[in-house]
Structures are given as C-alpha cells and as structure tokens.
A and B are shown apart, each in its own frame.
Chain A
Amino acid sequence: MKKILPVILLAFALTTALAYVDDALSFAQEAALPYVKKGFSVREDAWGGDLGVKEQQAMQAQLFKGNEYWFCLGTDVKGAVLTVNIYDSKGKLVNVETTRTGRLSAVRVVPPKTGSYFAIVTVVKSSQERTGWALVYAYK
C-alpha cells in the first residue's frame, strides 16, 4: 500500500490538474475566437497547468518577424486575475496590445525580429490555492 499510495496521489493530482486545464482551455479557445474572425489561425496544441498566486510559468516560443500573433490565456477560476506577457530573449517586453475580460486575457505581438520569445503567465490574484490556466496562440 505504501508503494501504491504515491501513485494514487499522483494520478489524482494529474486528473485534477487536467480538469483545471480542460476548463481553462475552453476559455483560452474562447479568447482566441475574435481573432479567428480576423483571419488568424489558431494552433491546435495548447499549454497549461496550475499555479499558486504570484507564481509564474514561462514558455519559450520561436516567433517570426512578418507574422502577427495573439497569445490567448484562459483560467477555470472565476474572479481570478491572470496575465500573459511576451518578452524577447533579452527580457524586454514586446506586447503591442492587451485585452482582459473575465477569465480571458490576450496579448498581441508583432515580433520586431525573428527569434526566441517568452510567454510568461502570472497568477496575480485568485481565491483558489491553485489556479488552472491554459494558453493557445494564433498567427496571421
């Protein structure tokens, strides 16, 4: 039993986290909808997890000068405030436009150069100990 318990706990943690992300992903995809209408293509894959308040997670992405991107973030926690900001490889903010409505946040980026960028997700405020989030991006 001693050996099985951690496995059960891990399975439970993963199941719970996936449930968070499932809901959060729906919101992230909803956040991307207005941009699809503007001719953006949304990537099929998504990134997500759960974070405590004030915690951050970064994803490194290869972006191309000449394209325009919207990074769309969703959360499963009502009233939570999450942000997504995009930084270049030197850590300089490159957001062009940001929007936030309820559980949805989005940021537009027009990369000044082709290269590596970092999408940093932050849980600014939340009533929950862990806040599920999911991120998708669209490009045009």
Chain B
Amino acid sequence: MPNILKPVAVAILFAAASGLNAQPTPDAVDLSSFPAKAIDDVVVPVPSEVFLVLDKLGNPNWRGEMRESLGRQTGNRAQAALLLGTVIAEGFVAVEAEDPEKVKDIGRRVLALSKAINVEKAVLERSKSIIDKADVKDWKAVRKEFDGALQDVKGAMIELGDGDLAQLVSVGGWIRGTEVLTSIVRKSYTTDGAELLHQPALVNFFSKKLEAMSNRRLADDDLVIRIRKMLTSIRPLIGDEEGAPIPVENVKKINQLTRDIVVSITSQEN
C-alpha cells in the first residue's frame, strides 16, 4: 500500500501535536489551531472529478478536446514524468469521448512511459486492464484504472525515493486537465463552469512542492522552471474569494498558459 505511506508518516510525525479537545460535531472550527504541517498536503483531484461537473453543465465536445498526438519522450526524466501525467489526463479525456482505440493507445503509452522511468512493473496490470475494459467499453472501469495507474506510478516512484518525480506526474496531469477544462469553459462560458478553476490551494501546493524539490537537477530543469512561472501567473487569475466569478478573459489566459506548457512537455510545435 505505497500510496498511504506518506500520510502515515505525516500522521506519526504531526498528529501527536494535535491535542485538541474535539466536540462531537462543532458547526465551525478554527482551522488555524491545527499545526500547520498537519494540514500541509492537499489531496489532488483526479481529472474525472472535474470532467464530471463539466458533463453536468452541458455537453462538451470531448472528441474535439483530444490531442492527435500524445507527444514524444526526449529522454529527460522530468519531461518523461510530466509527459506521463499529461498522457494519463488524456486517458480521462478519451474516456469522456468514449473512444476505445484512443484509450487503448493511451493504455499502451502509459506502460511505455512508465518503463522509461523504471516503474513499468507497477502499471503493467493496469495497462492490460485499460485495454481489456476499453474493448468492452466499460468506461467507468477504464476511468478507475487510469485513476489507479496514476496512484500506482506515484506510489512506485515514492518507493524508489523519487518523490519529486512523482510530484511532476501529478503536475503534468493537472496542467493537461486544466487546459481541457479552460478550453471547454471558454467555448461555452458560464460562471458555474469558470468556478471550477477556483483552485488556489492546489496551485499554491504545486508551487510549494516545485520550489522545495530536493533533487536540484529536477528543480533546475527548464520545464520545471517554466511551470513554476506559469503557476505564479495563474494564481491571481483564479481569485481568492470562493464563489467570486472568474471572467472569461482569465479563462482564456489560463488556457493559453497551460496550452503553451503542454506543447512544451509533449515536445511539439505550436
């Protein structure tokens, strides 16, 4: 159960400091009374949590959002991890588009990229399962397998002591997910759709993780530096106040920022 290792360690280290006298269900709590590190990490949503809401808001053209090429790996580990994240996110888009051939292609690509960063074993079964379930168009099961593949890859990287690289997989997935989200929202703008972009804690969390990378080679990677700048640019565009409308101009700007980075990650021309 590698995915649970980190929270366990966090709990061991910090929960003991949290000796609050809890009432059964208080209507409000003072969140500042928690030790900062006990609430340090943010649970990163899987792309389908966002896409599900988009489906409820309208009928997006998911096929139109799919990338023709999944990009190519250049040999750099940071790029490979980021690319893997974008490919897994693409898997969620292909599931929404209900395109079995694309899903199977992505399943195979996830395996190939995992091999490039030495975590092939962790996703071998997932990859097979993605292909099998796409064949019978069991979309819910395929979505679950992509979710599982993401967790397995990250878990395996953490076990190998590559926590920084694992973070890049999450970041890559989030960037591609955000590109798709903003693309759909800007084409058919509603304030409810744009509100999905209100993710300040997540943006701060990614920024902090990328700034605190212990692996200097990864931290100084050109793509990682560009992503840090992108996150800084996105932060003021998504607003501080929950429920405050995010204007269409901001949605377009975020789309451009994320699209540029996805192009760089996938090593393709604009």
Contacts and interface: CB of A to CB of B under 8 A. Distances in A.
Interface of A: 13-14, 17-18, 21-22, 25, 41, 43-52, 54-67, 83, 85, 87-93, 95, 98, 112-116, 118, 120, 122, 124, 134, 139-140
A48 B15 CA distance: 11
Interface of B: 1, 3-5, 7-12, 15-16, 18-22, 24-31, 34, 38-39, 41-46, 48-50, 52-53, 56-57, 140, 143-144, 147-148, 150-151, 192, 195-202, 242-243
Given A66-B56, A116-B200, A46 B3 contact: yes
A54 B16 CA distance: 10
A139 B34 CA distance: 26
A13 B48 CA distance: 36
A12 to B, nearest CB: 12
Contact of A57 (B18, B49, B195): B18
Contacts of A67: 49, 52-53
A98 B25 CA distance: 11
A54 B8 contact: no
Given A25-B1, A115-B242, A140-B52, A60 B16 contact: no
B28 A49 contact: no
Contacts of A115: 198-201, 242-243
Contact of B25 (A18, A21, A66, A93): A93
Contacts of B24: 83, 124
Given A59-B41, A60-B43, A83-B24, A46 B242 contact: no
B8 A49 contact: yes
A62 B201 contact: yes
Residue from B20, B49, B56, B57 having most chain A Cβ neighbours under 10 A? B49
Given A21-B1, A87-B31, A49 B147 contact: no
A39 B32 CA distance: 36
Contacts of B4: 18, 21, 25, 45-48, 134
6 contacts: A14-B8, A17-B12, A43-B147, A44-B144, A55-B15, A57-B15
B33 to A, nearest CB: 9
Contacts of B15: 49-51, 55-57
A114 B191 CA distance: 11
Given A59-B43, A114-B195, A65 B53 contact: yes
Contacts of A85: 25-26
- Which of B18, B27, B147 has the largest number of chain A CB atoms within 10 A? B18
A95 to B, nearest CB: 7
Given A47-B4, A51-B15, A64-B196, A93 B26 contact: yes
B8 A62 contact: no
A89 B242 contact: yes
B30 to A, nearest CB: 6
Contact of B43 (A55, A61, A64, A114): A61
Nearest to A58: B39
B193 to A, nearest CB: 9
B142 to A, nearest CB: 11
Contacts of A112: 243
Contacts of A13: 12
Given A55-B20, A87-B28, 9 more contacts: A56-B22, A59-B43, A64-B52, A65-B53, A65-B196, A67-B49, A87-B31, A91-B31, A140-B52
B38 A57 contact: yes
B8 A21 contact: yes
A124 B46 CA distance: 31
- Most-contacted residue by chain A among B11, B39, B44, B192 (CB, 10 A): B11
